[in-house]
Structure 1
Amino acid sequence: MTEQYPRVAIVEDNEDLREELLFYLTRRGFPAWGVGSAELFWKQLHRQSVDIVLIDLRLPGEDGFAVAQFLHELTGYGLVILTARGDHQTKLRALNLGADLFLVKPINFAKLADSLEQLGQRLSQTHTHEVAPDVPSNGASNWRISRTGDALMPPDGQPIPLSAKERELLNILIDSNHQIFTRQSLHDLLFEHEEEVELHRIDVILSRLRQKAKRYEVQLPVRTLFGKGIVFVGDTPSR
């Protein structure tokens, strides 16, 4: 993040509004880019990192709620919801998905820019105090993959069933405990024989793992470190 202005992405299918927002924010000094769909956003995100994402709820294809949910699970991103629907239920759902701001159209551009600057400062402070990947985890218990390879064995609690790709991902992370992997490196390891690179697939696998762990009332020791990558921070068996 720059000293003053966070990097901003705008996901808005109204081309006129998107271009107006981009023009105003870049004139104010924000590094910014915009796209018209969730699918284009995920592709562009792997080329240009951002700190804050402005998301319109009514997008073609994957809607804004789905984008917000994925970003919230990844952690580290500021989320701003843009919508023409200002009803209480919509606002509550957005806030429950981790939205930092909920803005109803038409938008006051000057107030938006001020809010983005303030949000960027809060995010910067949060990242400064982020837990380092080499901080010891809780106790001497160990995380491991079951002998049959079909479950993750937490130190306490029930085994968590794994799909083939979930197992492959965890094997990589656990075998290199506390080592940070970029999404690109994980994709290369998991999908080495596929020509098209879709880094979003790593996020999908992680999201499913976290949802499973949550159902089993277990906190998965996999962290997404902002601007760095993905790391496993739980204790593992000594080798």
Structure 2
Amino acid sequence: MSDQPRALVDAELYLRRCTAVSEYEIEWAPDDWTYVCRHGEAKARFQDFLGSVRDALPDHQLHLCLGTAASFRYSLFSAYKANRKASRKPAGYSQLIQWVIAAGELRGWNIAMLAEVEADDVMGILCRPGDVIVSEDKDMLGIPGLHLRGTEFAEVSEHQADLNVFSQALIGDTTDNYPGCPGIGKVNAKGILAGQPDAAAMWAAVLKAFEKAGLTRRDAITHVRLARILRAGEYDVDRELPILWSPPDGPP
């Protein structure tokens, strides 16, 4: 493995963004409208974006992180991301993903994919000291380290990353379609986790909140696993399976 630090890029997020702004409505005839995505524009925008990452991180090697259709989270919670089924992706988006994979070798892009996990998890699993996570996804703030979010750098400590994860587990996530702990919003979650010195104490506070709401330990564990992006050491390369988070107070 090279010692060169890496820029771990959320390729799906930025490619989708570049594709969406390259899509246009066209009226072919009166009352006949369609969407057209100009893939040449989308590709150019994406390459310009990667150029900006190179400018910001000239000493880092680009690694474009992609997910797979199968994610372990679907087996944890059947309604995970079910609200997205009706959402239309930009026209030809899946073909542009294939273009990124095929173009990677020609353009010197390192393509990173792992079975059974999402692009977010790939970034988290690969991240080591010196690397930078390039993403504006809030879930990535559950990974300790240096982040490039747009044009701003942000350093996330392990304590803050854990706070972000446990807070999200309490609140739930309407984007990913899991409910969280009933009656808990951002303000309540902040109060529950205030002053907790470490991950073990945060987990104890989260578990107490779930049980107080009439839910089970299993419910609490599931929500933490849904909210928590996998970190370094949490993937079995030989079996091609994620190693799921386990609570610090004993087996699930």
The bucket for the TM-score relative to the shorter chain is under 0.3
TM-score normalized with structure 1 length: 0.28
**Higher RCO (CA 8 Å, separation ≥ 6 residues):** 2
